[in-house]
Amino acid sequence: MPVHQLLRMGRGAVIELDSAQGEIFTLYANDMPVANGEVMVEGDRIRLRVVEMLQKPAEMR
């Protein structure tokens, strides 16, 4: 989902995830993988915890 679309969402908006609780996912920015994370559920809240930052490819440094 593009950031501009995320910023336009209001309170209570729903974002469907392709991952379940405890699964590892990859976070992308500008179509580049930037981090790996884990889906966590705490009560009625869902959060995404970053567990590993990924390095940029050598040609992008």
List pLDDT tens digits, range 6-57.
889 888 888 887 888 888 999 888 888 999 999 998 888 888 899 999 998 7
Q: Which pLDDT value is given to residue 35?
A: 95
Give dist(CA 23, CA 12) in Å, integer: 24
Q: Which pLDDT value is given to residue 30?
A: 82
pTM score = 0.64
Give dist(CA 59, CA 44) in Å, integer: 42
Give dist(CA 44, CA 55) in Å, integer: 33
The phi-psi region of residue 43 (left if phi > 0; otherwise alpha if psi is between -120 and 50; otherwise beta) is: left
Work out the angle at residue 9's Cα, subtended by the Cα atoms of residues 37 and 38, and round it to the nearest 5 degrees. 10
